[in-house]
Structure 1
Amino acid sequence: MNIKTITCHEVYNYGASLQEYALLAYLNKLDHKAETIHYKPAYLCDRYDFWYIANKKYEKFFITKAFYIFIKLPERLQFLKRKKNFDNFSKNHIKTTKKLYKSNDELKTNLPEADIYICGSDQIWNSFFQNGKDPAFYLNFVPQTKLKISYAASFAIDKLENNIKDFVKSNISNLHHISVRESSGKTILEDLGIKNVTQVLDPVFLLNKKEWSKLEKDLEIIEDYIFVYDFDSNPLIQIMAKKIKKKTGWKIISVNKNIKYSDRNFWHKGPSSFLNLVKNAKFVISNSFHAVAFSIIFEKDFVVFNRTSSINTRMRDLLNSISLNDLLILDQNMIDKHKLNTINYNVPNKFLNNLIISSKTYLKDALEN
């Protein structure tokens, strides 16, 4: 079958790129012909333009535009290195439609041809961001004569605001098969009266450790290290990383440019390097869903911290589903009590393998309908 997927595409985020790759790779493994729709609405992609001006007051005059770009120049030149590595990953590993689409209306007017359409995964339905309010991510542009499936779509929040509920219900009701990534997402839809909802795993779990290892890119790191992936500059994460470094002598390595206490920072590297950093770490500290996911896939010693924004449900649900909820660190006391190398993956892997089987079964059954 010819399958088109839609997700948050080329947003220069490790998890977004790797989950996009995973779904396409698994579909192709099932002997389908799958590619992602090259969908880049302005709200997702404009900020990655080298000449983008975030503060609109600087757009009025040429001299203020030039001043704004000059101030931002060092940071943007650095970002070009990161962008190049991500773009190379997409070029080499993510098959994309040749045509670029920028709106749901463009997709309706010139429908990318396919037998089956899949929306997901990642936070495509998170109404905290604009993508959760974009009908394209609910396959609104696809006629009802075509098979429409969601796979592991995530709201990433516990509940919807009232003003978005009717929009979500009307769009999701038009899908033929509905799956979400978190139990909280299932609850959200059931509260809207949508009952035929399946909970599945993120696409990264559709591929095994060996398949992911083929994709990783070697980095020249000879010392043992703690891998820190922290979006929020969480002071508790810094405390824990430094405490473990003092105890073990391990270096601190990160891919977040805001982490100033790391010994080395690979912020400009792409998704393949990210895989390498997780796989070879002695310990992983993060508040990232996909850092957690790959820590589990590679069976690493790790802990998780909450995010400051309201998107913690996805990490909490994943840990609970495989009986690792005690790895969620909430305060200084839990940091002080935590012991290294205490994870026995025998039990979590039993839960995980069952969830992988059920996730694959859902997808295969939906495709064969």
Structure 2
Amino acid sequence: MNICIYSSYAWIKIANNYGSILQYFALQTYLEKQGHQVYWLRFKSEEKVTLKYKIANLLLKRKDRNRTYKHQNPKDFQEFENKYLHETPYEYTSYSQLKNNPPKADAYITGSDQVWAGLSAERYLAFAPKGTKTLSYAASFGSPKQGFLNKILFTWRLKNIDYISVREKVGIDYCKTFGRNDAVYVCDPSLLLEKRDYEKFINNKKNIRKPYIFSYWVNPIQSLEHISWTKITNYANKTKLDIVITAIQGAEFSFNKEKIISPNPLEWLQLIHDAQYVITSSFHGVAFSIVMKVPFLVIPQKGNSSAENLRFYDLLDNLGLTERIYDHSKPIDLQLEKSINWNEVESKINVLKEVSFNFLKKSLTK
């Protein structure tokens, strides 16, 4: 079956988000292992912000989403994209182009990441020709949506999707509110693959670093005090561990520029794979630490980005790993060094994966 996936293409063109590009890579890889032909929809709207859009933002009380981020490593991201990702030959720059000449496919998938954090038509596959399958895989609504107008608009958009799956349990409740009682809770695409699947791409790289903590940060940090940076550095000094820092989407401004590295996507995976510990504020920092079976701590985000914490709360609760959420009142060494029963975690992941596999199989064969 030919499958076209709408995901985070536009986002990784402006921000070097490792989770966004690797979750697509994971979904593509999994579906190809099942015998499908998969390609990523290259959609990057260049339409100007219209008066209609501004009015909708005002009525829905949405904050401006058109923030500008500097992509720190566009060359290496593009090289990864060219080498490993299958894409539509044409890059669409407007919804009208997409609607009038959609890429040919037997099925269209929207997801993962926060594809439903907005209401634009392409996010809900409204361009798909009649008679083709449409489904969401691990779609996320992002921040909670409230209000009568939102309910009407989301109800209208979700009618276009034949089969719905979401990445957070709260997404099930949202879908019910929007008239869809058939939504299924599934795992993020990054968890569809095994550690050995990723090692095929990174094991040929030789690790020459001394033992280190990999710290990966996303979104603006109000202050280093909020992420207990002094405690982290003191622990690293005490245990003679280096600290390797990757910070993106505004987090980089909180650190000394010379201390930050901007690896390519596979190097980022390698850094998690080889780390003694991972300390992160990122959902995918957590997800890939789990895949690689590396002890980790996740430090919840604060301020405007705090709504993103829900993503890893769900996952860690489901896997019995809530103790890996950092508690500022406790010594960091006791939390970081606490052992993880990876066999137990893997058993719980397998249950969730089975639900996910079944959803994809049934949706794509009905």
- State the TM-score bracket (shorter-chain normalisation): 0.7 to 0.9
CA contact (8 A) 1:21 1:93 kept: yes
Please state if 1:265 is matched with 2:252.
no
Name the residue aligned to 2:57.
none
2:114–2:139 Cα contact (<8 Å) kept: yes
For 2:357 and 2:39, how far apart are their aligned partners in 1?
Answer: 19
Q: Structure 2 CA distance, aligned partners of 1:255 and 1:43?
A: 32
Q: Tell me what 1:356 maps to.
A: 353
Q: In the alignment, residue 185 of structure 1 is paired with which amino acid?
A: G
Equivalent of residue 326 in structure 2, options 320, 329, 352? 329
Separation (CA, whole Å) in 2 of partners of 1:258 and 1:273: 22
Does the CA-based 8 Å contact 1:282-1:300 persist in structure 2?
Answer: yes
After superposition, residues 5-154 of structure 1 pair within 5 angstroms as: 5-9=5-9, 11=12, 12-42=16-46, 79=71, 82-126=73-117, 132-154=118-140
CA, structure 1 residues 336+250, in 2 after alignment: closer, same or farther (shift >3 Å)? closer
Whether the aligned pair in 1 keeps the contact of 2:47 and 2:94 (CA below 8 Å) is no
Counterparts of 2:9 and 2:312, CA distance in 1: 22
SS at match of 2:38: strand
CA distance in 1, matches of 2:357, 2:197: 16
Say whether the 8 Å CA contact 2:119–2:157 is kept in structure 1.
Answer: no
Aligned counterpart, 1:181: 167
Q: Offset at 1:203?
A: 0.7
Q: How many residues align?
A: 331
User: Residue deviations 1:140-199, cap 9 Å, x none?
Assistant: 111331100100011133444544322221111221100000101111111222100001
Post-superposition shift, 1:336? 6.6
Output one character per residue of 1:294-337: Cα deviation in whole Å (capped at 9) or x when no partner: 00001111011112212111111010111101111142436375
Cα displacement string for residues 242-276 of structure 1 (whole angstroms, at most 9, x for unaligned residues)? 13202211000011133536985322x21101100
Q: Aligned equivalents of 2:333 and 2:346: distance in 1?
A: 27
Q: 2:288 and 2:197 mapped to 1: Cα distance?
A: 12
What is residue 291 of structure 2 aligned with on the other side?
297
2:241 maps to 1:250: yes
Aligned to 1:222: 209
Cα deviation for residue 112 of structure 1 reads 0.7
User: TM-score normalized by structure 1?
Assistant: 0.84
Q: Is the 8 A contact 2:296 2:336 kept in 1?
A: no
SS of the aligned residue for 1:311 comes to helix
Q: Which runs of 5+ in 2 are unaligned?
A: 49-68
Cα distance in 1 for partners of 2:45, 2:264 equals: 22
Residue 56 of structure 1 corresponds to none
Counterpart Cα distance in 2 of 1:300 and 1:161: 41
Asked if structure 1 preserves the Cα contact closer than 8 Å seen for 2:272 and 2:278, the reply is yes
Partner of residue 301 from structure 2, selected from 303, 307, 323: 307
CA distance in 2, matches of 1:133, 1:299: 36
State TM-score, norm by structure 2: 0.84
Q: CA RMSD in A?
A: 2.3
Instruction: Give the distance between the partners of 1:97 and 1:8, measured in 2 at CA.
Output: 14
Which amino acid in the other structure matches residue 346 of structure 2? Answer: N
Q: Distance in 1 between matches of 2:156 and 2:171?
A: 16
Hey, what's the Cα distance between the residues in 2 that align with 1:123 and 1:218?
Answer: 32
Quick one: structure 1 residues 222 and 339, their matched pair in 2 at CA, closer, same or farther if it must change by over 3 Å? closer
Partner of 2:330, secondary structure, is helix
Preserved CA contact (<8 Å) 1:104 1:140? no
Contact 2:4 2:108 in 1 (8 A): yes
State the secondary structure of the residue aligned to 2:215.
strand
Provide the secondary structure at the position in 1 that maps to 2:143: coil
Is contact 2:137–2:166 with CA below 8 Å preserved after alignment?
Answer: yes
Tell me, in whole angstroms, the C-alpha distance in 2 between the residues paired with 1:279 and 1:119: 29
Query: 1:5-61 deviations in whole A, cap 9, x for unaligned?
Result: 1111151310010011111111111111110111112389xxxxxxxxxxxxxxxxx
Aligned counterparts of 1:343 and 1:162: Cα–Cα separation in 2: 44
C-alpha spacing 1:160/1:305, structure 2 compared with 1 (3 Å): farther
- Kept in 2: contact 1:230–1:259 (CA 8 A): no
Distance 1:285 1:237, change over 3 A: farther
After superposition, the Cα gap between the structure-2 partners of 1:278 and 1:292, relative to the gap in structure 1 and judged at 3 Å, is: same
The separation in 1 between residues aligned to 2:257 and 2:238, in whole angstroms, is 16
**1:104 Cα deviation from its structure 2 partner:** 2.2
Instruction: Measure, in 2, the Cα distance between the counterparts of 1:285 and 1:262.
Output: 19
CA distance in 1, matches of 2:234, 2:32: 45
Q: Which moved more, 1:298-307 or 1:165-174?
A: 165-174
